[in-house]
Amino acid sequence: MGTLHLRNVPADVDAALTAEAKRQGVSKNRRAIDALRRGLGLDQVERSRLVEEIRRERPEVGRDVAALIRGERPDGDA
């Protein structure tokens, strides 16, 4: 695992990071790593793997949920 030190972090970014970390009950370091992962699109890769794993274990999850929801709506409510 690497180490990254950031300098000259704008005050608004630091404040937002601090507030989010506190709200989520995690460290600023953990929140910063999560933000970097999301910003780099790495969370999408993990999410895709998880979805595929769920689909293998539970094939019924592969159904089009949006279509199921649309089917439940009265006509004209798209």
Q: Is residue 41 left, alpha or beta, with left meaning phi > 0 and alpha meaning psi from -120 to 50?
A: left
Cβ contacts of residue 20 below 8 Å, gap of 6+?
Answer: 31
Number of Cβ within a 10 Å radius of residue 31: 19
Residue % of the chain over a pLDDT of 90: 45
Q: DSSP 3-state assignment of 13?
A: helix
**5 pLDDT more than 90:** yes
Confidence class for position 8, pLDDT limits 50, 70, 90: very high
Hey, where are the domains in the chain?
A: 10-40, 43-78
pTM comes to 0.57
Q: What is the pLDDT of residues 28-56, one digit of tens each?
A: 999 999 999 888 888 777 777 777 887 77
Tell me the range of 33-37, 44-48, 65-69, 71-75 where mean pLDDT is highest: 33-37
